[in-house]
């Protein structure tokens, strides 16, 4: 009887599993975004479009997981109210990361990039954003099992964000140094800004996870 009063253990476990699944979708989307930028640098336009579609599908899957969590787990009172609230906040913040990845991928196919090469800085930023989604997935996993490890991973995330910011600024310098503003330049600047936002959103989730490790200690 008390299990029903204080929440159902099976539903709680399912909830944890769904949150981890959501984190995994974010991580896969991050990897695919890096692949898309790589494909762009190799002028593999069809691959860029196909990866963009895959990322969109991952974003939809993540939304379904989020809805399932809300309807099947949170709405059934599986957790105490503030435990539900922290999970809801965590999933909402993580969802913003995959939304931003999807947005970046959509922007990439808005215009066919015509130049033969893209600056290496951009692929470096895409790699950082993939690493950040990877680290984010680990941080979420460690939140349940080991605060110290979770904080360690969040520190790595912060460092990755700092590196990405430096890369972005040096890319901006390149843009500002250009004599003329072309559509291609605007395109690359927009993709770079979007990639930085992916990393910033991932870092915000990391900050939230870090705060939780102190609050619930």
Partner 1 sequence: MTDILLLAVAIITGFIVAFAIGSNDESMAPAVGSGVFSLRIALGLGAGFAVFGALTLGRGVSEKVGKDLVNVELTLAMVLAIISAMAIWLILVSVGAGIPISTTQCIVGSVMGVSLLEVFLNPDLGINLIDTIHYPTLFEILLGWLISPVIGFIFAALFYAAIMRIRGHGKVNSLMAYERQERIAGYLLAVFLLVTVISRGGNDVANAVAPLLRISEFRYDDFITLSIRIEGFSDIIIPGFAIPLLLGGIGMATGLIIVGKKVITNLGSEVVTLTPFSALAGSMSVSIVLFFGTAMGLPLSGSHILVAALIAVGWAGKSPVKMDGVKKIGISWIITVPISALLGMIIYIPMKILIPV
Residue keyed to tokens 């072309």: 182
Q: Select 77 or 119, whichever has its Cβ closest to partner 1.
A: 77
Least gap, CB of 115 to partner 1 (angstroms): 48
Q: Select 82 or 120, whichever has its Cβ closest to partner 1.
A: 82
Least gap, CB of 4 to partner 1 (angstroms): 8
Q: How far is CA 214 from the centre of its chain?
A: 23
Residue 2, burial from CB neighbour count under 10 angstroms (0-12, 13-18, 19+)? exposed
Could you give the CA distance from residue 189 to residue 171 in angstroms, rounded to a whole number? 8
Q: Select 4 or 116, whichever has its Cβ closest to partner 1.
A: 4
Which one of 6, 75, 110, 181 is in contact with partner 1 (CB under 8 A)?
6
Residue keyed to tokens 């895959």: 54
Q: Select 42 or 82, whichever has its Cβ closest to partner 1.
A: 82
Q: Select 55 or 209, whichever has its Cβ closest to partner 1.
A: 209
Least gap, CB of 142 to partner 1 (angstroms): 8
In this structure, how many other beta carbons lie within 10 angstroms of the beta carbon of residue 181?
10
Segment 56 to 95, residues that bind partner 1, using CB under 8 A = 77, 79-83
Judge contact between 106 and 29, C-beta under 8 A: no
Helices (H), 42-146: 45-68, 81-108, 120-145
Check residue 111 for interaction with partner 1 (CB under 8 A): no
Segment 29 to 58, residues that bind partner 1, using CB under 8 A = none
Q: State the virtual CA torsion across 77, 83, 85, 86 in degrees, nearest 10.
A: -150
Least gap, CB of 40 to partner 1 (angstroms): 39
Check residue 2 for interaction with partner 1 (CB under 8 A): yes
Which one of 29, 31, 143, 164 is in contact with partner 1 (CB under 8 A)?
143
Which one of 46, 116, 148, 176 is in contact with partner 1 (CB under 8 A)?
148
Check residue 145 for interaction with partner 1 (CB under 8 A): yes
Least gap, CB of 195 to partner 1 (angstroms): 30
Work out the angle between the directed axes of helices 9-41 and 183-215 (0-180°, nearest 10). 150
Annotate 89-128 with b (16+ C-beta within 10 A) or e (fewer): ebbebbbbbbbbbbebbebbbeeebeeeebbebbbbbbbb
Residues that bind partner 1 (CB under 8 A): 2, 5-7, 77, 79-83, 143-148, 212, 216-217
């Amino acid at each position: 009887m008390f299990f029903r009063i204080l929440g159902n253990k099976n539903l709680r476990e399912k909830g944890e599993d769904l949150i981890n699944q959501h984190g995994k979708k974010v991580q896969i989307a991050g990897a695919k975004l890096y692949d898309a930028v790589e494909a762009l640098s190799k002028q593999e336009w069809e691959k860029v479009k196909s990866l963009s579609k895959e990322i969109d599908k991952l974003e939809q899957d993540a939304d379904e997981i989020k809805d399932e969590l809300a309807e099947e787990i949170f709405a059934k009172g599986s957790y105490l109210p503030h435990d539900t609230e922290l999970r809801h906040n965590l999933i909402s913040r993580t969802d913003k990361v995959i939304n931003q990845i999807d947005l970046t991928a959509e922007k990439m196919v808005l215009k066919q990039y015509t130049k033969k090469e893209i600056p290496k800085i951009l692929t470096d930023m895409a790699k950082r954003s993939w690493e950040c989604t990877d680290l984010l997935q680990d941080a979420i996993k460690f939140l349940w099992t080991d605060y110290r490890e979770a904080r360690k991973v969040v520190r790595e995330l912060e460092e990755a964000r700092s590196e990405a910011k430096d890369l972005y600024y040096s890319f901006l310098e390149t843009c500002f140094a250009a004599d003329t503003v072309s559509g291609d330049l605007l395109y690359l600047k927009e993709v770079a800004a979007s990639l930085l936002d992916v990393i910033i959103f991932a870092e915000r989730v990391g900050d939230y996870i870090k705060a939780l490790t102190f609050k619930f200690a």
